[in-house]
Chain A
Amino acid sequence: MAQDRDEAQLQAGAEEGGAAYLEMPPERRRAAKAHAAVLSQTARRIAAELPLSADVDDFRRLLVAEAKP
C-alpha cells in the first residue's frame, strides 16, 4: 500500500518531481517526467492560441451540430 511505503522512498519520489505517491523506480520516473514535459510544451503553445472562451464542451456541441439525418 502507498501509505505503508517508507518515508525515504516518498521523499526520493518527491525530489524527482511529481507523483511521489507512486511507487516507481527513478529511471521510470525521470522518463515519465521528461515525456510529460514534451507534451506540456505543446499544451502551452496551444493554450496561448486559445480564446479565453474555449470550453471543454465545445467539442460535443460541434459534434451535435454536425449530426445530420
Chain B
Amino acid sequence: MTAFDRLSARALAGAIRQGQMSSVEATEAAIAALGKAHEVTNCVLSLEADEALLAAKACDAAVAAGTAVGPLTGVPLAHKDMFDRTGKVASWGARIRASNPATEDATVIARLKAAGALQIAALHLTEFAFGPTGHNYVLGHARNPWDPTRITGGSSAGTAAAVAWGAIPAGLGSDTGGSLRLPAAACGVCSIKPTWGRVSRAGAMPLAPCLDTIGVIARHIEDLALILGLLAGADVRDLAASQAPVPDYLQRLADPIQGLRLGIDAALIGEAHGDVQGMLDEVVAILARQGLQPRACRFPDWQTLDHLVQLAQMPDCAAVHAAYLAARPDDYGPQVRARLELGHFIAAVDHLTALRARARYLEATLTTTFKDIDIAILPILADPLPSLAELDIGGGPTLQAAMGRVVKYTRPINYLGLPTLALPVPRHGGLPNGIQLIGRPYAEAQLLAIGQAYQREVPAELARPARVPA
C-alpha cells in the first residue's frame, strides 16, 4: 500500500472504496500529519479532528453498506478558511469576524460534501486573502514547509503548505491577484485557477468580486481535474457563475497535446530574475519533449495591464471593507489596512474606466497574443523564493513596490479572467518555484492535459519537503 501522504485524493478514494484503507485510518493519518505540518508552517487555523473522525466513521459505514457513491467518499481535505459552513464562523484570516455563524454552506463546500469529501481543518490565509506572501500580521505568518525562513506565498498559504507537506492531497483556495498560483509555486505543488466565473463564489469571502476566482491546490494534476469538475457549473446563488457545460476534466486528461503551440513572450519573461528565466527554460524544454511547439508571442503592454487590474481591484476591496475600516481600523493588520486605504484614493471614474476597458484587453489578448498559440507560459514569482524577513514590510513605504514585484506575473492575468495552471519546476535539491500556463477562456481541460503530461516527467513525488518522512 502506498503511503497515505503520497496518494492522490482520487487514489485515496479508490482505496477507501475498495476497503484497502478506511476513512477513519486516512483521517487519523491526515490529522497527525497536519499537526506536524502546523508546527513547522503555521498552516492550521482550526483543527476539527473530532468532527472529522465522526464523519469518517459514517463514511466507513456507508462504504460497508454499499451506499457510498461520491467520488471523494471518506477523503480528508482541508481548505482556506474563507468559505461559509453551516453553523461555523470562517475567520477570513482576520480578527474582525468573531460572530455570526453561517446559515448555509458555500456552494463549493456543499459540492465537495455531496461528493463525500471530509473537511478536517480550516487553513491559514493572508488576512482577508489580501496579500501575496503568506504574511499575516494578526494571526501569525505562514512558513514554507521546505524552509521555514521563506515565504509560503499567499494568500492560500495554509492549503499550499499542507498539500506540499503531504498532510492532505488537495484543498481549496482562491485567487484575486495570484493567491492560488503564488503559494503553489512557493510550496512546490500544482494549482488550477479557472476562468473567472467558471466556479461559483457563493458563500466565499469576497475580496474583489470583479476578480475573485475559487480554485484548487493539489500535488496531483488528476486531483485538480477531479475536484474542478465537482466545483464548476452554474449556480443560482452566483449570477456570475458560468452556465457553460462542464467538461469531464478527468477524461480529458488523456487529450493529445502533441502539436499544441506554447507561447513565449521573451521580453516579458526577460524581466524576471535570471534564475527564474533558467527554470522557465527548463520547463519549456520538458514541454517540448512532450510534443508542445514553442512559439513567440507578445502580451499587451504589461504595465498598462498591471495598472488596470489595480484600478479594478483596489476600489472593489475598499468598498467591501469600507464600513469596517472606518469603524475599526485598528483591528486590521498594517499591511492590509494600508492596501485597503489605497482603494479610497482611486476615483470612481478611473475604476469604471478599467472595468469598461476589460473586454477590449481580453479581446486584444485573444486576437493578438493567442493568434498563433494555444497556451502561453509565464513565471509565477519573478524572483527566487524570498525570505519572510525580506518581505516583512508591514504597511511601510516600500509596500506597493514590493507587492507589485511579487504579483508582477500573476495580477494582470486576473484582469483578463483567463484560466491558469501552476506547475512546480524541477527543484534539483533547491528551493521550490513554479511556472504558470495560461489558456484561452474555458481552456481548463487543455491546461490540465498538458499538466498531466508534464507530471509524467516531473512527478509529484519529486516535489516534497525533505523533512517529510518517506
A and B pair up = yes
Identify the A interface with B (CB < 8 A).
Answer: 1-2, 18-19, 21-24, 27-29, 31-33, 35-36, 38-40, 42-44, 46-47, 50, 54-56, 58-64, 66-69
Residues of chain A with a CB closer than 8 A to B240's CB:
60
Identify the B interface with A (CB < 8 A).
Answer: 195-197, 240, 242, 244-245, 247, 303-304, 307-308, 310-311, 325-327, 329, 338, 341-342, 344-347, 349-350, 352-360, 362-363, 366, 395, 397, 399-400, 417, 440-442
CB<8 Å pairs between A and B, sample of 28:
A2-B326, A18-B344, A19-B345, A24-B341, A28-B341, A29-B341, A31-B397, A32-B341, A36-B345, A39-B307, A39-B346, A42-B303, A42-B311, A43-B308, A43-B349, A46-B308, A47-B357, A50-B360, A55-B356, A56-B355, A59-B355, A59-B358, A63-B197, A63-B242, A63-B362, A63-B417, A66-B366, A66-B441
User: What is the bound-complex CA distance between A60 and B240, given in angstroms?
Assistant: 8
- Distance to closest chain B CB from A35 (angstroms): 5
Contact assessment for A39 and B311 in the assembled complex, using a CB-CB cutoff below 8 Å? yes
User: What is the bound-complex CA distance between A56 and B358, given in angstroms?
Assistant: 8
Residues of chain A with a CB closer than 8 A to B311's CB:
39, 42-43
Contact assessment for B359 and A62 in the assembled complex, using a CB-CB cutoff below 8 Å? yes
Contact assessment for A27 and B397 in the assembled complex, using a CB-CB cutoff below 8 Å? yes
By beta carbon, the residue of chain A nearest B323 is A2
User: What is the bound-complex CA distance between A43 and B413, given in angstroms?
Assistant: 18
Would A36 and B346 be within 8 Å (CB), given that A2-B327, A27-B397, A43-B353 are in contact?
A: yes
Would A1 and B356 be within 8 Å (CB), given that A28-B395, A31-B397, A62-B363 are in contact?
A: no
User: What is the bound-complex CA distance between A28 and B441, given in angstroms?
Assistant: 38
Question: Which DSSP category, helix, strand, loop or mixed, fits chain B's interface?
Answer: helix
User: Which residue from B338, B344, B360 sits with its C-beta under 8 Å from A54?
Assistant: B360
Residues of chain A with a CB closer than 8 A to B397's CB:
27, 31
Contact assessment for A59 and B417 in the assembled complex, using a CB-CB cutoff below 8 Å? yes
Contact assessment for B345 and A18 in the assembled complex, using a CB-CB cutoff below 8 Å? yes
Contact assessment for A67 and B344 in the assembled complex, using a CB-CB cutoff below 8 Å? no
Contact assessment for A22 and B363 in the assembled complex, using a CB-CB cutoff below 8 Å? no
By beta carbon, the residue of chain B nearest A46 is B357
- Distance to closest chain A CB from B416 (angstroms): 9
Would A50 and B341 be within 8 Å (CB), given that A38-B307, A63-B197, A66-B366 are in contact?
A: no
User: What is the bound-complex CA distance between A1 and B308, given in angstroms?
Assistant: 32
Would A39 and B355 be within 8 Å (CB), given that A32-B341, A33-B345, A63-B196 are in contact?
A: no
User: What is the bound-complex CA distance between A32 and B326, given in angstroms?
Assistant: 16
Residues of chain A with a CB closer than 8 A to B242's CB:
63-64, 67
- Distance to closest chain A CB from B446 (angstroms): 11
